[in-house]
Amino acid sequence: LDVILESSAERMPVAVGINTVYIGQSAVRVGDVQYASSAVSATVDGCRWFAQIVRRGDRVTVWAEGRCWEASVLILPSQGTVDAGTDRDCIVALMPGSVLQVHVGAGDSVRAGQPIVTMESMKMQMSLDAQMDGVIALIHVQPGSTVDKGDILVEFEQQA
């Protein structure tokens, strides 16, 4: 997941699925979504809303029936493996922050989806998971390490 909405009150990871929008921990039922040139209408939890939405840079403003809401949209690079130029794949930091936990040791075999590193960034924890089955080759960080977006955290070899 790679989009976060940050309003003055809270920060919420978001994802849009079929008939459901995931906002933070909650799944909200959404139906009959229609897009006009500049507007969105949708049934949210059984209520019909007609909204005007303006996005300018990283700011989004939602207007619906005289009510307004504003947030920043943080878009993180898609989580994925980065080809380091060898036969090794890497897990990279998706945002600047610090490493909370490293769940594996060099030489460990891991399964796709298994958590490898937990990071904290902007008061939010994020688990970086293995994208495929493999063996951990190198670990570049330890709990407490400060990393920049794009830094290689862990390299692993894909299992043939």
Considering the rule CB under 8 A, would residue 62 count as an interface residue with other proteins? yes
CA proximity to 20, closest of 45, 38, 40, 47: 45
CA proximity to 13, closest of 152, 122, 103: 122
Q: How far is the CB of 130 from other proteins (least distance, A)?
A: 11
Considering the rule CB under 8 A, would residue 72 count as an interface residue with other proteins? no
Report the alpha-carbon distance of residue 143 to residue 141 in Å, rounded: 7
Q: Which is nearer to other proteins, 127 or 159 (CB)?
A: 127
Report the alpha-carbon distance of residue 95 to residue 49 in Å, rounded: 34
Q: How far is the CB of 154 from other proteins (least distance, A)?
A: 15
Considering the rule CB under 8 A, would residue 5 count as an interface residue with other proteins? yes
Report the alpha-carbon distance of residue 129 to residue 108 in Å, rounded: 14
Of these, 91, 116, 126, 147, which contacts other proteins (CB under 8 A)?
A: 126
Of these, 61, 86, 146, 158, which contacts other proteins (CB under 8 A)?
A: 61
Torsion angle in degrees (nearest 10) through CA of 72, 77, 79, 82: -160
Binding residues for other proteins (CB under 8 A): 1-3, 5, 7, 9-10, 12-17, 21-26, 28, 30, 33, 35, 38, 40, 42, 44-45, 47, 49, 51-56, 60-69, 71, 73, 75, 79, 113, 115, 118, 124-129
